[in-house]
C-alpha cells in the first residue's frame, strides 16, 4: 500500500441519504481533501432484498447537492473498479476459493432452523449465542450427503483460537476484541452472495483504502474485517469510529423521531441551503479551534483535523440548524433567495405559476420583506399569510392593543391620511403615519401598534410602511373599517 490517503463512503442503495450517512461521507471527503488524497464512492448493493429502485441515484444526487464530489465511483469510473459490489462477485470468488483451498474457510450445511435451535439452547444456558462449529470438520462424504439432500452450503471463516484483535482507533484510542467472542462466521451466504464484512475487507484492500472513517455501530465489525486481512496477510487500514448522533433528549437519533427531519432530501425540499447543511453536519461530532461556527467548504477542508473528532456523542439541534440556515440566507444574493422561496408560494396556491410583470414585481417585494427573517425557503408561506387573508382573526395580544382608548382616533385619522395619498409608496405611507402623530399627538407604540395590528393582524412583522404598500390601499382600508366598526359596536 502506498502512502496516499484513500478513503471511501460506501452507501447501500436501500434508501435515501440520511443525516448520519451524510456525516460519514462528509468527514471522509474533508479528510481526503485536507491531505490531498482521494475520496471514493463504492456502492454496497449485496443486500438485494432491501435495495430500492433509484436508491443509488438518490444517494449520489444528494451528496452532490451538499457540495461533495468524488474522485472514483460507479458513476465516473476509476482504475480500481468496478465500484458496485454486485459487479465484483467474480473477484470475491477468487478469494473464497483461496481460503477454502488453505482450509481457512469451510462449507456449512446447517439450516436456519438448526442454527436457531442451537442459539436457543445457548440462551437457555445463559450463554451468548454464537456458532458452535458443528460443521467445521465435515468429511467429503458428509458434504456429499448434505448436498444430496438438497442443502445449499454457506461458507464460514475459521476464527483463530486464543487470539486478540487490537487496533488504535483514530477517535477512541486502543480497542481490543477476543477471538473467543466470535464463532466461525459466514463469509458467503447460501445464495452465493458475500457477506458485508467479507466483501468490505476485500474491497478496501484492493482499492487501496488507507483510512476507514465510519459510525461507531461498525466497531463490532472491525475485528471480523481484521480476520479477513489476517487470513490473506494484508495490513489493515487505519480505523476511526465516529460517535452517535443524539436527539435533543440525548437519545440515539432514530428514524422514529418524527419531530426531527432526518433525510437530506427533506431539507432540500423545505428550502434549506446546501452550504448551511454542509456546515451544520460537519459540526456534528467535530469541532474547530475557537468559537466560530460559520465556515465555507474551503475553510473546512483547510482546517479539518481528525484529532478533533469528538469522543462524546453529537446532539442534533434543529433550532441551531434553523439559526445557521438563516445566517446563510441573510448572506445570500436576493436572486438565490427568490429561487428558494417563490416555488413554495406557487405550490401553496398563493401565486399563479405564470406570473406577469406586475405580479412578479409584487412577489419579489414581498419576499424581500422577509429576506432577513427567513430560516428556510418554505417558511415564506407561513410568514406571508397576512397578505393572502380575506379576514383577520385578532388574538388576545392583538385585542389588547386595539382596546387602547386612543385607537379609534389613530385609526380613523390614518384612514383619512391614506385616502389623501396621490402616489402610494412606502415612503409616502411613512410620511402619513408621521402626519397622524402630528395631528393626534399620539406617538410611539400608541401610534404604531394600533396601525400594525389593524392592518396586518400581527403585533410583530416587517417594516410597517412596506407591509401596507404591498397589502394595497383597498385591502388596508377594508381592514381599518372593520376594526373601527367593531370598536364602535
443 is catalytic: no
- Helix (H/G/I), strand (E/B), else coil: 332: coil
- Give the bridge partners for 156, in sequence order: 106, 186
Our separate counts of H helices and E strands in the chain read 20, 11
Element containing residue 141 per DSSP (H, E) = helix 140-148
DSSP 342: H
Considering 251, 252, 255, 486, which one is annotated as catalytic? 255
Q: What is the Cα–Cα distance from 321 to 379, expressed in whole angstroms?
A: 14
- The dihedral built from the CA positions of residue 260, 263, 269 and 273, taken in this order, carries a sign that is positive
Instruction: Encode 87-117: b = buried (16+ Cβ within 10 Å), e = exposed.
Output: ebeeebeebbeebeeeebbbbbbbeeeebee
- CA atoms of 440 and 446, how far apart (whole Å): 11
Rounded Cα gap, residues 231 and 208, in angstroms: 17
Q: How far is CA 200 from CA 11, 24, 203, 257, 337, in A?
A: 12, 16, 5, 30, 43
CA distance readout (Å), 86 to 82, 214, 343: 9, 22, 40
Q: Which residues are catalytic?
A: 255
Amino acid at each position: 500500500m502506498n502512502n496516499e490517503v484513500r478513503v471511501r463512503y460506501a452507501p447501500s442503495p436501500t434508501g435515501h441519504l440520511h443525516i448520519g450517512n451524510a456525516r460519514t461521507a462528509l468527514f471522509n471527503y474533508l479528510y481526503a481533501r485536507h491531505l490531498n488524497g482521494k475520496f471514493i464512492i463504492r456502492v454496497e448493493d449485496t443486500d438485494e432484498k432491501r435495495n430500492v429502485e433509484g436508491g443509488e441515484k438518490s444517494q449520489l444526487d444528494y451528496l452532490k447537492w451538499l457540495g461533495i464530489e468524488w474522485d472514483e465511483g460507479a458513476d465516473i469510473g476509476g482504475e480500481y473498479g468496478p465500484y458496485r459490489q454486485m459487479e465484483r462477485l467474480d473477484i470475491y470468488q477468487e478469494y473464497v476459493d483461496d481460503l477454502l483451498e488453505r482450509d481457512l474457510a469451510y462449507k456449512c450445511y446447517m439450516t436456519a432452523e438448526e442454527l436457531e435451535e442451537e442459539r436457543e439452547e445457548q440462551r437457555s444456558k445463559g450463554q451468548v449465542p454464537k456458532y458452535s462449529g458443528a460443521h467445521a470438520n465435515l468429511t467429503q462424504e458428509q458434504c456429499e450427503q448434505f448436498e444430496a439432500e438438497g442443502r445449499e452450503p454457506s461458507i464460514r471463516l475459521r476464527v483463530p483460537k486464543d487470539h486478540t484483535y487490537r487496533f488504535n482507533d483514530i477517535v477512541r484510542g486502543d480497542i481490543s476484541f477476543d477471538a473467543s467472542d466470535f464463532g466461525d462466521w459466514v463469509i458467503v451466504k447460501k445464495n452465493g452472495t458475500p457477506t458485508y464484512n467479507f466483501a468490505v475487507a476485500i474491497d478496501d484492500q484492493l482499492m487501496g483504502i488507507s483510512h476507514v472513517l465510519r459510525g461507531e455501530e461498525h466497531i463490532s465489525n472491525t475485528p471480523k474485517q481484521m480476520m479477513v486481512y489476517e487470513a490473506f496477510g494484508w495490513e489493515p487500514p487505519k480505523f476511526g469510529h465516529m460517535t452517535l448522533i443524539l436527539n435533543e433528549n440525548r437519545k440515539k437519533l432514530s428514524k422514529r423521531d418524527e419531530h426531527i427531519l432526518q433525510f437530506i432530501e427533506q431539507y432540500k425540499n423545505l428550502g434549506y441551503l446546501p452550504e448551511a447543511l454542509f456546515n451544520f453536519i460537519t459540526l456534528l461530532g467535530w469541532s474547530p479551534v475557537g468559537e466560530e461556527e460559520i465556515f465555507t467548504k474551503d475553510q473546512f477542508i483547510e482546517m479539518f483535523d481528525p484529532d478533533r473528532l469528538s469522543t462524546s456523542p453529537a446532539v442534533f439541534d434543529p433550532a441551531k440548524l434553523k439559526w445557521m440556515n438563516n445566517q446563510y440566507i441573510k448572506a445570500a444574493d436576493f436572486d438565490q433567495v427568490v429561487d428558494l422561496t417563490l416555488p413554495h408560494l406557487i405550490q401553496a396556491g398563493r401565486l399563479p405559476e405564470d406570473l406577469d410583470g406586475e405580479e412578479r414585481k409584487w412577489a419579489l417585494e414581498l419576499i424581500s420583506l422577509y429576506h432577513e427573517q427567513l430560516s428556510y425557503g418554505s417558511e415564506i408561506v407561513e410568514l406571508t399569510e397576512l397578505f393572502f387573508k380575506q379576514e383577520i382573526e385578532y388574538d388576545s395580544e392583538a385585542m389588547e392593543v386595539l382596546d387602547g382608548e386612543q385607537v379609534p382616533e389613530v385609526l380613523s385619522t390614518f384612514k383619512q391620511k391614506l385616502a389623501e395619498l396621490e402616489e402610494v409608496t412606502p415612503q409616502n405611507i411613512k410620511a402619513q403615519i408621521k402626519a397622524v402623530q402630528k395631528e393626534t399627538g399620539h406617538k410611539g407604540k400608541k401610534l404604531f401598534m394600533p396601525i400594525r395590528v389593524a392592518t396586518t393582524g400581527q403585533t410583530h412583522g416587517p417594516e410597517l410602511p412596506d407591509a401596507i404598500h404591498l397589502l394595497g390601499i383597498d385591502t388596508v382600508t377594508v381592514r381599518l373599517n372593520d376594526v373601527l366598526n367593531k370598536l364602535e359596536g
